[in-house]
Structure 1
Amino acid sequence: MVGTLYIVATPLGNLEDMTFRAVRMLKEADLIAAEDTRHSKKLLNHYGITTPSIACHEHNEAAKACDLVQRLEKGTTIALISDAGTPLISDPGYRLVSMASEKGIPIVPIPGCNAAITGLSASGLPTDAFIFLGFAPKKQGRLDNFLNDAAHHKATLIFYESPRRVIRLISSAITVLGDRQACLARELTKQYEEFIRGPLSAILSTLENRETVKGECVLFITGDAEQPVALSAEQMESMIMDGLNQNIRTGELAKEIAGYANFPKSKVYDMILALKKRL
């Protein structure tokens, strides 16, 4: 029988966030494929996990995937973990999982921590729809194009970023996307966890006033809200007259114009009544 590949989520920082099931699977596996065996040693030691581990990271995954799949085909049970959070989400593992899938090897996810979802839940921004964009490009030209491609999305935008480049990302976002409402989550689940909420410009100002920015960051930015149609008083009056000439009822006309101009219906209603008195 072939083995099973388990995709095991691990804590972002606080070791207490490890699930009972995740601990059990790491103990029962024949082998742990870790992004960085030195980093994972602290977690494994904390829970008394003695399962052998090997490195499987972005620089060796292409070669390691073949070896690991061969082991799986021979019956070895393997648990894949990243340094923190859920494997494959801006972390190594895609080649291994893709190859195992093609071979028909059972793949079982063991859910747990994920920085994007963890931060979003406390961001204060809309959560009904969101788009995870991972790490932004390092080169400025590619970053600008990257943000331009994201500018039209209505859903909340989620970015991962290193503390060294987060100020540049926010500054570029202001230029390309505008000064939208946002939230920066830093050091999630760790001792110095922090959420900075407000317009992008306010978050940028907060960070620029610090000597250094530390810890992995997740940036959340509101999506592209529909902008109100700017109508002059003359244009508004013209729309009202057109509606009155078509014998549209006052309430219906107010609703139609308010929806088009993203303007309070009550105020449009009052404008219609005032114009009727002048006729």
Structure 2
Amino acid sequence: MTGALFGPLLVGDPNAFVGSARLQPPSSQHWFGTDNYGRDVLAQVVYGARSSLLVGVVSGLGATILGTAVALLASMSRWFDLIVMRIVDGVMSFPILVLALAMVAILGPGLFTVNLCLMIVLFPGVTRVVRSTALVVAELPMLDAARAAGAGRTRILLRYVLPACMTPILVQGAIVFTVAILVESALSFIGAGLPPDVPSWGASLAASRSYLATAWWMWAFPGAALVGTVLATNVLIDDVRDLLDPRMTEH
């Protein structure tokens, strides 16, 4: 995260072509070596981190907010729950990558399109998990007491149901963030994600396919960045879940 924020202040233009510096191994001048166009791999990795993290944060946050809002409304209205959950089931019946690829093919590649597609594709998973918790909370006696006291539906959702669902919301938000990064990298790997002039870990891995044995640094460093980000996020998810789960608290 720190490298993505401040790295561009230390590295050069990731799209700068230097023909005389093609396929140079890591050195003091190019710490991560250069690719087949003479571009600095370190700059590609750093700027690729900005693109991947931006997609993960924007689409993950959007999917989490949308999924949570739909789940809360579904927990308070039976007819809305019946309709929206059939839509959720329909969306979740398709593989995430296939559905995202189909939407990108229709709307066209681009940063906004990728974020929008991932948000639509990923929010059903958040909705299903948060809805299961919200339905349990909606049946608690305290909500009957709140209704008897004259509390409206909006106040009940925001004052009682939403706080009780914060643990699954946070965990699902972190999971969606990770999945969004992986799907964006997969889309960019096949050329259907971000534009060619926008560095991406997936695009860097795609460019290294013809140089797996002769230029290992072209795939090793972007791959390590992608794997490291996913693993670090998964560790954070486990820590947050253990911290917020009262069953894991030592008495």
TM beyond 0.5: no
Give the strand-richer structure, 1 or 2: 1
Q: Which one has a bigger Cα radius of gyration?
A: 1
Shorter chain as denominator, the TM-score bin is: under 0.3
> Which structure has more RCO (C-alpha within 8 Å, separation ≥ 6)?
2
Normalising by structure 1, report the TM-score.
0.23
